[in-house]
Amino acid sequence: MTTRIHEILKKYPSELLDEWLTTMTASGVRRDALMKEGELRDQCADFLRLLTRALEQGNVSDTTASVYAPVRELLERLSRSRSLQGFSPADTATFIFSLKQPLFNRLRGEYVKEAEVVAEEMWCATILLDKLGLYTTEIHQRTREEVIIRQQQEMMELSTPVVQLWDRIVALPLIGTLDSGRTQTVMETLLQKIVETGAEIAIIDITGVPTVDTLTAQHLIKTVTATRLMGAECVISGIRPQIAQTIVHLGVDLADVATKSSLASAFSWALKRLNQTIGTGGQGQRALAGKV
């Protein structure tokens, strides 16, 4: 498909820019609370300039062609920034769609005596701007998904803190559902903390885990196994009566894993395991009775 649209863009750049901004204002597309007028004008001017260059090659149908690469790069930057600024996908796409009216008006005025040419050029312009508008929607959605994934990862890291309770004792309190992705984060965080502190006992507290099913139990066993491979013992605390019944009903084998009903019980078990005691003055004292 060939087009004369680039002739209009080259002949009336400033007029199209002003009319485009006016159209966005009249249709309510502009969001002055989110973007200043000067920034919007610069974006429109850059788009018109790059689109004119691309159309000089005569290609109006294939927006994936190399000549449109600068246009796509610009739209990608605009879509990502608008997504982070709070614009909706519809707002971002309509930014491109709103150029249709000024462009159609100029085409009708330029080829007033050539109705067939006007119809053909308007159809070409519609296809072109629709494709570019939809492209901004794809980028906008992709950016939102990336933000959501990043936030989920950050929340996952924050929800799996490993704390050092005592000399050679660390604890990992779990809250919420334990799925495959989170299990990997739990393992990495716990193992890294064991290396950093030289811990010999790790307490995994599941008081905040609402339910334990077969998959959750398997994830716990994997974490225990990984901890043992690092040379540390592992104890699971927070085993409530209903969770104990569920584990038995599911037939999950935790026979070789130390379990306690509370974090306090697990901590007491860990102290005895390491032959340590807590003095009455609040200071930790290491019992030497078991020293070889």
pLDDT at position 270: 93
Using DSSP's 3-state secondary structure scheme, residue 162 falls into coil
How far, in Å, are 99, 117, 153 from residue 184 at the CA level?
48, 62, 11
Beta carbons of 21 and 45 less than 8 angstroms apart: no
Q: Give the CATH fold of the 5-153 domain.
A: Globin-like (1.10.490)
Q: Give the CATH fold of the 163-286 domain.
A: Transcription Regulator spoIIAA (3.30.750)
Beta carbons of 5 and 103 less than 8 angstroms apart: yes
pLDDT at position 240: 83
pLDDT in tens, 7-35: 999 999 999 999 999 998 887 777 766 78
pLDDT in tens, 28-72: 777 766 788 888 899 999 999 999 999 988 778 789 999 999 999
pLDDT in tens, 81-117: 888 888 888 888 988 999 999 999 999 998 888 989 8
Using DSSP's 3-state secondary structure scheme, residue 112 falls into coil
Residue with the bigger pLDDT between 278 and 7: it is: 7
Which residues lie below 8 Å from residue 183, measured CB to CB, with a gap of 6+? 219, 222, 223
Average pLDDT of the chain, as a whole number: 84
The alpha-carbon radius of gyration of the chain (Å, integer) is: 32
Compute the residue count for the chain.
292
Give 65's DSSP letter: S
Token pair in block for residue 204: 């995994």
pLDDT at position 157: 54
pLDDT at position 6: 86
Q: Where do the structural domains in the chain lie, given as residue ranges?
A: 5-153, 163-286
Lowest mean pLDDT among 88-97, 208-217, 266-275: 208-217
pLDDT at position 291: 33
First and final C-alpha spacing in the chain: 88
pLDDT at position 154: 58
The whole-angstrom separation of Cα 106 and Cα 197 is 72
Q: Is the pLDDT of residue 152 over 90?
A: no
Tell me if domain 5-153 and domain 163-286 are identical in fold: no
pLDDT grade, residue 285 (50/70/90)? very low
**For residue 74, which of 13, 141, 135 has the smallest C-alpha distance?**
135
Scan for tokens 């973007």, then name that residue: 35
Q: Is the pLDDT of residue 251 over 50?
A: yes
What pairing do the DSSP bridges indicate for beta strands 233-237 and 201-208? parallel
pLDDT in tens, 155-192: 555 556 888 889 999 998 887 776 766 777 788 888 99
In 3-state terms, the chain is what percent helix, strand and coil (to 5)?
60, 10, 25
**For residue 178, which of 147, 204, 145, 148 has the smallest C-alpha distance?**
204
Give 68's DSSP letter: G
Amino acid at 72: R
Amino acid at 94: T
Residue with the bigger pLDDT between 225 and 246: it is: 225
